[in-house]
Structure 1
Amino acid sequence: MAWPTGASPYGIGVRDAVVRGVGPRSTDGVIRVWYPAHVPSSLAARRYFDGPDELQIMTRGLGWLLSARGVRALGGWRTRGHTNAPPAAGRLPVVFFSHGFTGFVGQNTHLCERLAAAGYLVISIAYPEAAASICAPDGSSNVMSAAQRRRLVGDQFARAMVRLLRARSIDAENRAISEVTAVDTLARENDRWSVHLTAMLDALVPIDQRRARVDTATAAILDAGDWSRVALMGMSFGGSTSANVAHLDERARAAINLDGMQQGDILLGQDIRVPLLVMSSAGSMLPSGRVVNDLHYESRRTATGRVQRVLVADAGHYAFSDLVAFGARRTRGLLDLGTVDPERMLTLVADTVTAFLGDALEPGGDSGTDETEVSP
């Protein structure tokens, strides 16, 4: 697999590290960092799962979704990143990426590489007990169990979702969305993710903290960041978490939600504090034709001018991850990728995100309000 990439004066470096003190296990603090780099000609680009340990651990965690053979095929992709390449100097805007429930730190490698090539420092966070697999640099690992994968889907969740999908009026949809925000399992998980993301901000934004909490080589990479320009970005549950935390935490200047159904009621009928890009799939559309997040982020659609909404009508949920480029027609159907062309989807997401961040993280920047439907 050789995926599309934009022209850039930078090479791309990749480093895995552990942020100490965010949990009792080293796997609790795992991050992956992409950054602009000076890449020696002798340094080969890394594979998607780099080395036998990561491949084995990801096979255990993702085998239920892709099969062991599928995970090996995915792991063999050659990326554009280079492990531990020397960082380029600069004052780089910082983007925190949050994967989805049962996702993993590298699930949006293409997007993170594109941002690094455009001059961003990107930090992907592994969420304990919510990532399919976590592989720490010291060799320790954590693999999500089948019971943990099922923990969000209980009777209360099922009833609320059935009412939402069967709603035949705007009022009925509104009531059902309010019920979904009150589902106990989702509320507990939402709180847990928000706490973890906030703990990562606490550990990495202040210079004294990050130099005490990560190894020296990682600290040198992170010191190139402009920590006054921080954006929170995520896919699925991670996208919802990014919006929630960005609304409350003044260290965040912008947020991006890639097809995440917004959790909790903090942004239901409220104006989000920061510029927000929300990209949605066809599966997020309600019977009325509205998108499930249409009641979030802005209490009045033109109140703040801060929300950019993009509907990708031919994309399924996982199409907002690297999996959009994976598998033949039958596999693509099972993965809920939709009918979107893989190269077009990867490019669309990367271009849209890069343009949004270029506006939102500029001094005084604001993305403006723009509602767009993207069709085949």
Structure 2
Amino acid sequence: MSGDTEAAKPAGELPIRVGGDDYAVISSVPLAESPLPPAPTQPRGEASSIPQYRRSSSLPEPADAETLGAGPADSSVSDAMPPSRRERREARERQSFLQTDRPEEPARHGARGALNKLGFKVSPNATEQSERDDETAVSRHWPGPRTIAVVNGKGGAGKTPTTILLSAVFARYGGAGVLAWDNNQTRGTLGWRTEAGAHDRTLLEMLPETERLLGTGAQSADLAHFVHHQPREKYDVLRSKPIRLAHENRLHPQDVDAIHAVAAKFYRLIIIDSGNDESDPMWLRMIDQADQIVVATTTRDDHAEAGALLLEALEDRDERSARLAEQSIVVVSQADPKATAADVDHIVNGYQELAREVVSIPFDHEMVDGHLHYGSLAKRTQRAWLSAAAAVARGL
């Protein structure tokens, strides 16, 4: 009977069968109208024993994401790998076991310091904390050398003491690598107020050796032939030769560049004591090399006026000089023991609008004449110079 059925089936129709090993025709569909996809092509040389018919099932065929309107399936979701241990560690912040904050030291001075000696732990008061902050500021080491020019167009305004004591503070708290340089065409006296080394050489003897000192074979110890080490405060001095006439000491801008290049190679801080002639090419070249300007003045009106005029002239020179003037530090030294607090305030207040910071230094007999040592100053004078150096450091 089965054969009769198949014989009666119109030509071009495909039987659809269901069941296990026994198949029965349940319908016949014209081949041209069949909704079934064509049978998958078998690779050449391979045969399949599975009949190429769609099996009937009570379960619906799975619908893909595009049919459901969700757009093309994102293969990255199914193919995504779970995060590695390193990725999970980097995704979260672990609290370090190491202490990153600088621990606060207990008070050392005054009644609070006395309590700490008895076993208590008392923090410093505001005055002592301010001193510690200034010590931290001047102890910094900057990435690359820094140059500070101490200036005033008037002689006797305190440029040399300012150069010496700033050098002493920076060397004392920040370590070695500080040079005080006498860049004075008119008989600079930096060498007279500091200790001499085992020789009498000056920058005039160094100048012919600058090319060698800039070479790869030069060492910092080679500078001992030209600079004068200060054993108490641990900085070096590069002297001028004040016994010679000004025209015999004459340097040119390229000479300043050469000496500065040597100083910058071997020192982290270069503090320059300048001359009084602001039109001198040597003076102007120093300004071009400076990272910070310090105006030194006393409480005398002519000294203060000369410093103020200098800052105004720098503002008009060029953009860089104007920026140096705006960020300058003014150090007002009380050179006259009879000067009153009102005299000091008059100068300090007058500079407030011209400079970034103004620091006043009290009168001290140790600053008047002779060799100048930071350790010989009164405690309050030392504290004032520490404040002045910290003000400079904040601008570097």
TM bin, normalised by shorter chain, reads 0.3 to 0.5
| TM-score with structure 1 setting the length | 0.32
The structure with the largest strand share of the pair is: 1
Larger radius of gyration: 2
Q: TM-score, normalised by structure 2?
A: 0.31
